Structure 1
Amino acid sequence: MKKAKFYLIFHYNLAFSSIEEEQLTQVINKSYFPLLETIKSTNTKTGIELSGYTLEKLIEYSPLFVDELKVLIKSGLVELIGSGYQQIIGPIVPYLVNVKNQQLGLKVYKRVLGIKPSVAFLNEQVFSKSMVDVYKKFYDCICMEWNNPYSINASSWDESFGFAPAIAKGVKSQMPVIWTSSILFQQFQRTATALNTLENYLSMIERFINKGYKYLPIYSSDVEIFNFRPGRFHTENTIVSNEWENIKKIILALKNYGEFLLPSEILQFVNKNVVLDLTHPSQPIIVKKQPKYSLSRWSVAGLGGHYINTLSHNCYENIKAKADNNLWKNLLKFWGSDYRTHTTLNKWQDAVGYLKKYNCEYKIGDFLDAKPIDFDKQVGKITIKSKQYSATFLITKGLALESVYKNKKKLLFGSVNHGELDYISHGADYYTGTTTIESCQFGRLTNLSEARSVEVKKIGENKFFIKGTNYLSDWTIEEKLWVVDFDSKKIVVYDTLELSKPTKASIRMSAFTLLPVNKNSKFWYACKNGGYYKEKFFIGKNTSILHHLPISILQSSNGGLGVTNGHLSFGIGKSTIAKLFIDRAYGSPLVLLQNSPDHDKYLTRVFFSVQEFDDTLKPTTTKFKISYSIFF
């Protein structure tokens, strides 16, 4: 059997979601120091990835650890792998936040360790094409998981693309990618924690080598799980032996199959002939591990995800023009992934308390000069008009937007009626403005009943508002306001949902619906996913995009879009057919896209999720808000 090249990347994180501040010394002693001792005793080259924030915490809690780390880096046994100042989910935050995160992280590395890493580990292994363009400004190479990009591109990729480092495409650039592997690191964890035997583990490694994998990422995950349990899950197994001794045995056994190199040394073996777009129109943002590990966990799940992300966007709007590094460090800290997911209540309250200081009360406008307009409630519709445009709203369907016309020609958004599509799976009505709450406990609630307390007023010559209240249940009330501005060619919805109690459910507000588009058209969507440039995706004839569908009874969504500057566009060829702007400072939803092929058309919808259920959700929020504009 041909000898392989191995590499290790241990992820250090003193912001770990479920670990309280008073536990940090325990983590350092049980997990951090033992890794350094393991590296020395086995004489094994190892990558250690840590954020600037973690490095600052290590100076505070254990200067001795930092001194020992410096010695090992200087000796060539340890390589520092870049992370940024905080562990932030790059594809769902604004471009400037990503840039500041790397700039401030690199400053800390230089100040404390005197070095600049050349290799970066994508935070939480969440990838969009924009991450290539961002990271190329600061590093020579990125580390990204192989398993999910390969799975979604399996019809066009060969497994051999994962045998060696390759080239990852960005929007405007490309750079080398060193692969990591969820399967390999999970097998390593199982063996180290005595859930698997060393014999079985080595048999698996042999299979990988025999398949042709020449450069194997033996480990690329958390260090805090060895000889310590972070307390994220009830199913965490008990510590039955010294897991660092188990790790030493694994490493020494692996040396019979190959040699360990530093991650940057693996870079010399990059296959420059393999240039890959890791994403797909159905999944423009890639997330590591098994499907339950969805984008929702950092955006609208965890502990009040929608609320803390809205506060973060507000804070960003207030400080984005400022050069104060302390302000930026605090924003980065509280925008970190570890203040979502399994975060503790104490940490979450600290984050919310800080972020609220930089939030301003959002004012829609008082419309004091607005003049009431009479309408016939019996008709069940409200139509408002200008010389060129008209827009119709359905009172009987919770003030859903039915249609917009320009010069008597219907624009390509509004509502799709039952019978307009051919497949029985699409045999329903699809509105713009639908709000749903879904749970396996109580089923599905919607706002598709008659709106109450409806008001229609004229604000200016060609500007109107339509306001009403929807009761989804005896414990759920929705206040919906549409502002129609024909002169500015836009319609804005402001939607507020209040629950009398927190609920473990999927909550999606005021969905947007395109009219069916022909399959043979060059149909596309475009948005920013954490980068400076838009990412544009053409939708193939039979491409299904199903972010809105549950993966299982325990995971209510399957992917999503970043839309990090608020703008989302749809088009055909060179023409734009619909443009949306999501005001994330008003409310920051996870944007879920549906594109379902019918016989000769597509059903395309956008859902604005404010809560999804998964293994991290701890329902605490009872008030949700979103606002978006439709431009025409």
Structure 2
Amino acid sequence: MKRGYLLFHLNLAFSSIAESARPEVIQQCYWPILELIEKSNIPIGIELTGWTLQQINHLDPVWVNKFKTLLAQQRCELIGSGWSQLIGPLVPFQVNLWNQKLALALYQTLLNYRPTLVLVNEMAFASSLVELYQQVGYHGLIMDRDNIRLALKYEHHDMPTHACGVTTTKLPVLWSDSVLFQRLQRAVHGDIPIVQYLNFVQQRMASEELPLAIYANDAEVFNYRPGRFSTEGKTHPEGEWTRLQRILKQLQEQTGIEFISPTDALKLSKLQPENAMRLSSLNQPIPVKKQAKYNVNRWAAAGRDNIWLNTQCHSQYQQLSHDANSYQWQTLCELWASDFRTHITQERWLSCLQKLSTIDRVTSPSTVQTLASDTENKLELKIDDEAIYWHLATSQIKLTLNLRRGMSIDSLAFKSWQFKPLLVTKHQGYFDTIALAADFYSGGLIIEMPGLRRRITDLEWVNPELTDELNFHVITAKLDLAHFNLTKIIKISKTTEELRISYQLDPPVRNDAIIRLGIMTINMTELEQPATLEVWQGGALPEHFSLADECDHTHNVSTLVSSSASFGATTGQISIGDQHRAITLSWNPALCAAVPLLLNRRYKQQHLTRIFFSLSELDDTFKAGGHLLNFELAITPGSLSRAEESQIPSVMIQQ
């Protein structure tokens, strides 16, 4: 017998729902789910955040009591979410941990229920979240399958049964399906004939054995239109919940499908031979749901002002002590909600800003250097005959800057690497192919303004000024670029192996532009291959990605979506290295939560590996305006860490 399951995601914080419309959403979208459970006897899964449950309890406690009764009767199932719907791979571990703790406590208080399955928020997955979910007591997770297939280059219908974490931890996975839920939405809305939908499901049933995720998405799309887009159609005159029930009944009669609960669907999935895999890849380090235009950068670097908003959240996080009260953590989780970062209404955006208005910005640098002695303060400067290059050296660092190309880094080397260059410029002709016949500089900036058909770089002639600070030798250049003035500052530590490079753009206003800076070209010839990239993405431990694979996160998905992927980098650090050594790029996300993107290509035996830091990406959520923050990047040598299960902080969960 073919089986399937239904899951509805409830979110009163949905970006386009005005606060005044919440009672209407409960009446039009949430009550019909409970009525559907009673009329159809389908054991539907209901996933909602702790914040949404709290709001429903305030506005309509009868709904909560009814839901509690149905749960006690085992006629439906609660699926875990978190206190707010935040993007886990973009949020520090402690925030993710509190997000789960707060929700589990409220589920217990209001519903007397502890869910065993968790839905990955917005289907934005990172491998290090597996350990987190297991820590707080979940027995399995629900994740969209389609982008995992892209991440794994996996063509089989038989998907992995378990998701591997960064240690030996693994959790069983119940797969949802973007195409299936979108097809049902279209049938219910009347955009496609019901018979076409039924035939499509029959075809899927004939080719797949596991329980089908007939629906696993938003409840607010039926019988309600928030007015987010001018293209939104009217609700179906039949009544969309009535139409949905009719379609489900026809589906049962025509195909014989049996609807089971998500937990039972997972049990059936676990009867398959175990196939545990890591579900992310270098090309897709943070897989999400639906089509490529929904990649993680919509929450990281687009929206109304997402870089600034994420920076503010990091600032508050850094100021919270580990003994902060639950209300403070709750507020932070709410401010980190994904819905503030997409199509948020003006009224709710102003409400978000009001919450943020009490936050004091962090102004201290991310690292503190000690005062150097006189013997270590020396800086050697040599200028070539044509005054193109500055060659600078301390006892720890050798640096060559190209003054004809905006003070770009021609090479950077540290003593611990025997002064072999870590960062370089790969000059035109390095690659013996016209496809890569360009100069690939380090330390540069690119601004693209599609609406104006302008591409701006900092590859201009400069006349820098060399000055001295307490712990650094400082080189400053000012560039007059189209639409912007750029102050570029490079600081060379007097005593340690550290170089800093900062960018200050004026006016500090975010326009319709793609803004990427701190672009670094890694010298892969000095690393054993395949090298490894290390980054933290919302978990307690780092994730590692082999650079044997190729990727290009900077590749535009369409003319309206400027990039395809990025790393979460929740600690403000990303490293590339081998088992002996690494180069680390670090920044303070409480000052600027820039987003790292990777280009990794090979031509024959040669490598092109570049990291870009984005301050702005374009997609359908982008709105011009907002803040353009200063960005400072520190570059140091080091080594990669290793993920050990014993390093995961212990947690106490309120029962």
TM-score, length basis structure 1: 0.93
CA distance in 1, matches of 2:381, 2:602: 41
CA distance in 2, matches of 1:366, 1:487: 8
Does the CA contact (< 8 Å) of 1:519 and 1:602 recur in 2? no
Distance apart, 1:358 and its partner CA = 2.2
Matching residue's letter, 1:120:
V
Among candidates 590, 593, 607, match of residue 588 of structure 1 = 593
CA distance in 1, matches of 2:563, 2:364: 32
Shift in CA distance, 175/406, structure 1 to aligned 2, threshold 3 Å: closer
Among candidates 445, 451, 459, match of residue 448 of structure 1 = 459
CA distance in 2, matches of 1:37, 1:514: 59
2:163 aligned residue: 168
Matching residue's letter, 1:88:
L
Matching residue's letter, 1:83:
S
1:234 corresponds to 2:234: no
CA distance in 2, matches of 1:348, 1:491: 38
2:199 aligned residue: 203
Describe the superposition over 1:509-560 as per-residue Cα deviations: whole angstroms up to 9, x where unpaired: 22111124389822211111111111111122xx321001111101100111
Does the CA contact (< 8 Å) of 1:432 and 1:510 recur in 2? yes
Q: SS at 1:603's partner residue?
A: strand
2:153 aligned residue: 154
1:509 aligned residue: 517
CA distance in 2, matches of 1:30, 1:188: 18
Distance apart, 1:631 and its partner CA = 0.2
CA distance in 1, matches of 2:414, 2:57: 64
2:96 aligned residue: 98
Q: SS at 1:435's partner residue?
A: strand
1:220 corresponds to 2:216: yes
Shift in CA distance, 546/360, structure 1 to aligned 2, threshold 3 Å: same
2:342 aligned residue: 341
CA distance in 1, matches of 2:508, 2:526: 43
1:115 aligned residue: 113
Distance apart, 1:104 and its partner CA = 0.7
2:442 aligned residue: 432
Among candidates 468, 471, 478, match of residue 480 of structure 2 = 471
CA distance in 1, matches of 2:396, 2:612: 29
2:650 aligned residue: none
1:130 aligned residue: 128
Matching residue's letter, 1:295:
V
- Structure 2 unaligned runs (5+)? 638-655
Distance apart, 1:367 and its partner CA = 13
Does the CA contact (< 8 Å) of 1:311 and 1:356 recur in 2? no
Distance apart, 1:111 and its partner CA = 1.1
2:503 aligned residue: 495
Q: Which structure 2 residues correspond to residues 39-438 of structure 1 after superposition, within 5 A?
A: 39-138=37-136, 139-154=138-153, 158-161=156-159, 166-172=161-167, 173-241=169-237, 242-256=239-253, 257-269=256-268, 270=270, 271-360=272-361, 362-363=363-364, 379-406=387-414, 409-438=419-448
Q: CA RMSD in A?
A: 2.4
Does the CA contact (< 8 Å) of 2:510 and 2:628 recur in 1? no
557-566 or 439-448: bigger deviation: 439-448
Matching residue's letter, 1:382:
W
Among candidates 561, 565, 569, match of residue 571 of structure 2 = 565
Describe the superposition over 1:103-145 as per-residue Cα deviations: whole angstroms up to 9, x where unpaired: 0110111111111111100000011111211111120110001
CA distance in 2, matches of 1:140, 1:388: 50
CA distance in 1, matches of 2:450, 2:76: 49
Distance apart, 1:450 and its partner CA = 2.3
Describe the superposition over 1:431-488 as per-residue Cα deviations: whole angstroms up to 9, x where unpaired: 2221111132223111111236x3211235x731112222221x21222222211522
Q: SS at 1:430's partner residue?
A: coil
Q: SS at 1:86's partner residue?
A: coil
Matching residue's letter, 1:225:
V
1:33 aligned residue: 31
Shift in CA distance, 621/147, structure 1 to aligned 2, threshold 3 Å: same
87-96 or 495-504: bigger deviation: 495-504
Shift in CA distance, 373/233, structure 1 to aligned 2, threshold 3 Å: farther
CA distance in 1, matches of 2:432, 2:524: 11
Matching residue's letter, 1:563:
A
Matching residue's letter, 2:147:
N
Shift in CA distance, 529/502, structure 1 to aligned 2, threshold 3 Å: closer
CA distance in 1, matches of 2:310, 2:380: 38
Q: SS at 2:358's partner residue?
A: helix
Distance apart, 1:586 and its partner CA = 1.3
1:602 aligned residue: 607
CA distance in 2, matches of 1:506, 1:532: 31
110-119 or 248-257: bigger deviation: 248-257
Shift in CA distance, 383/538, structure 1 to aligned 2, threshold 3 Å: same
CA distance in 2, matches of 1:366, 1:335: 32
Among candidates 532, 536, 544, match of residue 536 of structure 1 = 544
1:525 aligned residue: 533
CA distance in 1, matches of 2:127, 2:25: 35
Does the CA contact (< 8 Å) of 1:371 and 1:459 recur in 2? no
1:485 aligned residue: 493
CA distance in 1, matches of 2:209, 2:263: 18
Does the CA contact (< 8 Å) of 1:7 and 1:46 recur in 2? yes
Shift in CA distance, 266/183, structure 1 to aligned 2, threshold 3 Å: same
Q: SS at 2:38's partner residue?
A: helix
Q: SS at 2:55's partner residue?
A: helix
66-75 or 410-419: bigger deviation: 410-419
Does the CA contact (< 8 Å) of 1:493 and 1:627 recur in 2? yes
Distance apart, 1:392 and its partner CA = 2.1
344-353 or 418-427: bigger deviation: 344-353
Shift in CA distance, 448/32, structure 1 to aligned 2, threshold 3 Å: same
TM-score, length basis structure 2: 0.90
Does the CA contact (< 8 Å) of 1:373 and 1:458 recur in 2? no
Shift in CA distance, 538/501, structure 1 to aligned 2, threshold 3 Å: closer
Shift in CA distance, 575/486, structure 1 to aligned 2, threshold 3 Å: farther
504-513 or 294-303: bigger deviation: 504-513
1:549 aligned residue: 555
67-76 or 551-560: bigger deviation: 67-76
Does the CA contact (< 8 Å) of 2:474 and 2:489 recur in 1? yes
CA distance in 2, matches of 1:548, 1:595: 10
Does the CA contact (< 8 Å) of 1:371 and 1:458 recur in 2? no
Shift in CA distance, 240/93, structure 1 to aligned 2, threshold 3 Å: same
2:653 aligned residue: none
CA distance in 2, matches of 1:517, 1:249: 63
Matching residue's letter, 1:13:
N
- Structure 1 unaligned runs (5+)? none
CA distance in 2, matches of 1:374, 1:514: 24
Describe the superposition over 1:589-617 as per-residue Cα deviations: whole angstroms up to 9, x where unpaired: 11101101122111011110011000110
Describe the superposition over 1:474-504 as per-residue Cα deviations: whole angstroms up to 9, x where unpaired: x212222222115221111222223476422
